[in-house]
Structure 1
Amino acid sequence: MAGNDNGATAETQTADDKKRFRSEIGFPYSDLESAVELAQTINDRAGSSCEAEELAVWMGQTASGGTFRTRLGAAKMFGLIDTGQGRATLTQLGRDVLANSANAASGRITAFLNVELFKAMYDQFKGHALPPPPAIERHVVELGVSPKQKERARQTFIKSADYAGFIDAATGRFVKPGIVPRDEPPLEKREEDKRRDKGSGDGNEPPGLHPFVQGLLRELPKAGELWPEEKRKLWLDTAASIFKMIYRDQPVGTEGLPWQKEDFTK
């Protein structure tokens, strides 16, 4: 009986050892920047999809080599590519991170959080400064990374977080970066455009004004500002000329206002 107990214990220990050295949470062995480079190679050389063997050659690697398979697996884990039947195909997220717009920054954020380990670390430390490397390694092990892989997990985590903008440059805190659309003008510019569109009055002028009248209104200084009499007279003379050009006079010998003479039964 004792022998059987010892045998069972030994088998349990062996199973526990195997479990202990196998990571139970997903993380890439290559960082996000390397994954984006792989996606960029597909885009530049093939558009959206290519044979894995072709991709390996373009990247100066071999399709069966560990380096290429590591980078390919990382790009898939980040959600930048799909693989199957010997091909690598860009996903919509993969196209987004290559775009020359705010989609690229937003795509990097999404890709970073697609990784199970990185999302768990973000949930644990968001808003706070990340701990020193030894403490990070302890945390990733607690989350399910094999002790043998803790250093690699920590390295790809830090590099990917930095590349995706999760480490604030001013404070060093671990926080999701804000996204400002590239084609959205700064707030000051938008306010300036609004003032220009509304004129320099109070912005309550009625719609449908002739462009010449809008131009006149834009020349008006703000209430309380200095406006020399000579310039006021020039503005009034200009206004009189514009009004004479764009508005009609009442016909001589008629009574009432022009719109009172309209026949609304027609």
Structure 2
Amino acid sequence: MAQEEPIKNDSANAPSANADTGSDAKREMSTIQFPYGDLDDAMAFARAIHEVGGQGCLAEQLAGFLKVAPSGGAFRARMAHPRIFGLIEYDRGEIKLTSLGLRAVDPQQEAGARVDAFLAVPLYKALYDRYKGYTLPPPAALEREMALLGVSSKQTDKARQVFDRSAKQAGFFWAGNDRLTLPVIKSRPETRPVEDAPPAPNRDFDQPQQGSGGSGGGGYHPFIEGLLKTLPATGKEWASRDRAKWLKTAANMFDLIYEGGDAEIEVRLKAEEQF
């Protein structure tokens, strides 16, 4: 059957494929791995696993979700594609997402995962290494190149078509459909849980901020907050007469806001602007 052809040629990636014997051994076999399904199909398979069981699930569970028989050739063939792209691994009836597969199902990391999945395919990596920075050959010549790399001569047409689609889906044709160019992936800031920030220290005084009577948003009475804002910046000129005026205003505010003022505070200027 046509659907079982990938399993025979990619036996290392099929969950239950037997070694070729007899007449099958005489057939021309591909000696380099490549998928029969494109990258989008492999990504969809990985997302199905994530939807069914998070990081992994049983093959029969996934087959039920996809509404196919778990022992059928179609399911086994479809499972071979994401394995070659490095998105999944299969062991004793359980299918798990690899670290690359987990990135593929994360919307914030999907673009970079597509690039890495494309380059995880031995045939695609060989072609990229050979032609990066150069124009790709025409379809017929590219198929001959694939044959030299190990693709069966009867499969080069199919391999080239899937290669073209996967390269486009991974973003390698962004600079033109005639060349493979590594996509530019914009880095995203890592998201982490936000912890409660400690209260900001008081920049005006080395003492804890405590409310008193009213609230001006900074921990002091609104009158004090307003008065502090009138202080000039450190190092700037501040005339003695203005200093005295500020201190008198502060003394009046203290009498208004605080209790226990049993003596009068006097602020006055002495000769030569000193006090």
| TM superposition score category, shorter chain reference | 0.5 to 0.7
Offset at 1:127? Answer: 1.9
Distance 1:100 1:253, change over 3 A: same
- Give, as a single letter, the amino acid of the residue that structure 2 aligns with 1:22: M
| CA–CA distance in structure 1, aligned partners of residues 89 and 177 of structure 2 | 36
| CA–CA distance in structure 1, aligned partners of residues 169 and 70 of structure 2 | 26
SS of aligned partner of 2:231:
helix
Query: Are the aligned partners of 2:52 and 2:61 in contact in 1 as well (CA < 8 Å)?
Result: no
| CA–CA distance in structure 2, aligned partners of residues 171 and 114 of structure 1 | 21
Percentage of pairs with the same residue: 41
Tell me the equivalent position of 2:193.
Answer: none
| CA–CA distance in structure 2, aligned partners of residues 125 and 28 of structure 1 | 20
What do residues 86-111 of structure 1 show as CA deviations (whole Å, max 9, x unaligned)? Answer: 1111111101011121x211111111
Query: Are the aligned partners of 1:129 and 1:172 in contact in 2 as well (CA < 8 Å)?
Result: yes
Tell me the equivalent position of 2:231.
Answer: 244
Query: Are the aligned partners of 2:173 and 2:179 in contact in 1 as well (CA < 8 Å)?
Result: yes
Offset at 1:146? Answer: 0.7
Is 2:161 the counterpart of 1:138? Answer: no
Query: Are the aligned partners of 1:80 and 1:90 in contact in 2 as well (CA < 8 Å)?
Result: yes
Is 2:52 the counterpart of 1:48? Answer: no
| CA–CA distance in structure 2, aligned partners of residues 82 and 57 of structure 1 | 19
Offset at 1:133? Answer: 1.6
Query: Are the aligned partners of 1:20 and 1:147 in contact in 2 as well (CA < 8 Å)?
Result: no
What do residues 111-140 of structure 1 show as CA deviations (whole Å, max 9, x unaligned)? Answer: 111111010000111123322221111110
Report 1 or 2 for greater relative contact order, CA contacts < 8 Å, sequence distance ≥ 6.
1
| CA–CA distance in structure 2, aligned partners of residues 146 and 170 of structure 1 | 28
SS of aligned partner of 1:173:
coil
Distance 1:171 1:27, change over 3 A: closer
Tell me the equivalent position of 2:217.
Answer: none
Query: Are the aligned partners of 1:166 and 1:175 in contact in 2 as well (CA < 8 Å)?
Result: yes
CA RMSD of aligned residues (A): 3.3
Could you tell me the TM-score, scaled by structure 1's length? 0.61
Query: Are the aligned partners of 1:109 and 1:164 in contact in 2 as well (CA < 8 Å)?
Result: yes
Is 2:102 the counterpart of 1:95? Answer: yes
Distance 1:170 1:124, change over 3 A: closer
Segments of structure 2 that go 5 or more residues without pairing to the other structure are: 1-21, 191-201, 205-226, 248-266, 271-275
Query: Are the aligned partners of 1:127 and 1:175 in contact in 2 as well (CA < 8 Å)?
Result: yes
Q: Which of 142, 156, 160 in structure 2 is aligned with 1:154? A: 160
| CA–CA distance in structure 2, aligned partners of residues 74 and 171 of structure 1 | 23
- Give, as a single letter, the amino acid of the residue that structure 1 aligns with 2:127: M
Q: How does 1:103-118 map to 2 (within 5 A)?
A: 103-118=109-124
Tell me the equivalent position of 1:39.
Answer: 46
Q: How many residues align?
A: 187
